[in-house]
Structure 1
């Protein structure tokens, strides 16, 4: 499921019920999902699974098609399949920067239970993905309604964006500005991965030589202050090949 560096010449593929009409018009009362997956066979199987969960689904099979749809078709949630190459993380960053909605990132290892060449995926796998999509949509709505969610509740953490303060079970956790910036970005979409490149851009304006190692040091310090066990962190988790996520 590798994302090729070269964009494929594809366009948005609408939900079958819409015929030749773009899908926003057919999604009345339903959650509109934009699925970004470059390989048709996987895109078709995953789209079928999502539609079985009553989502209205469009498929974008290139970077350009995904960005066009994100900017013009107003999806409720974007699902980006990361694939097995580094390009998937690049696509994720581009979509996140352009999207005004929540974004779900599917790692390569998460795809297998969700695709089926015949019929749809097992109901348990479908339920887990459906829950992630609905949680992401809810977080997105909360941020919009609360002006960016100045006080974010994640597990037993309270992240007060306005005053740059973090509470854990009522106790103040003393963080550096860099550590707080990392936690704030990760709390934008709890449970969803943020790439190392994106975190470096937030911290230093751009990815830098040695930036990944420096980021790892800050992540380690943040975990220590939150009481995360290095071998099995509860809050800040590593997403192999992508970056980090805050447990939702």
Structure 2
């Protein structure tokens, strides 16, 4: 079945352009110009990816992300004219998976869509029996159920936080460079990808109760990357 992508933007010309670009790749597309309709379509159509503009006429895009995250983990790619780091961080903190600043390259957007769909496909594939559950100190990662527990309390992660943690878990004990992680998760190594990784890693560490001065799970190799401890 072809992936379904929901485009949310108040500019009809952009919606039309994105629809043509998406459908030429063999994907299905549905679009809307406001946040309220986007939330209803997210429930009724269950899209595989949402492409979201922040400047909507009825509900601010950041609020749409928060409302979506209350009931769905659908990957969200933000496309916005808001190009300041603060706005990018706010969107990523709210639960967005990726962020592109207008004007953007449609080729780059399509590449990032492919990365997300590839991750979705890998996550749906049957896991090897020995890889179903990772246990590291008091951290338990159940890849079959896609659930995380710390000290017997469930930890809620965004899709990208889960992807980063899984990438580290599969390579536990090994140092993964910033370039390796950003290419695997976001499909590129642009400055904004590095910023996305920093925000994602900061949120992930906070949810794991990490003390930056004495980390239990994620070790920073300064100037190189990160590694997950291996007991």
TM-score by length of 2: 0.49
TM-score by length of 1: 0.46
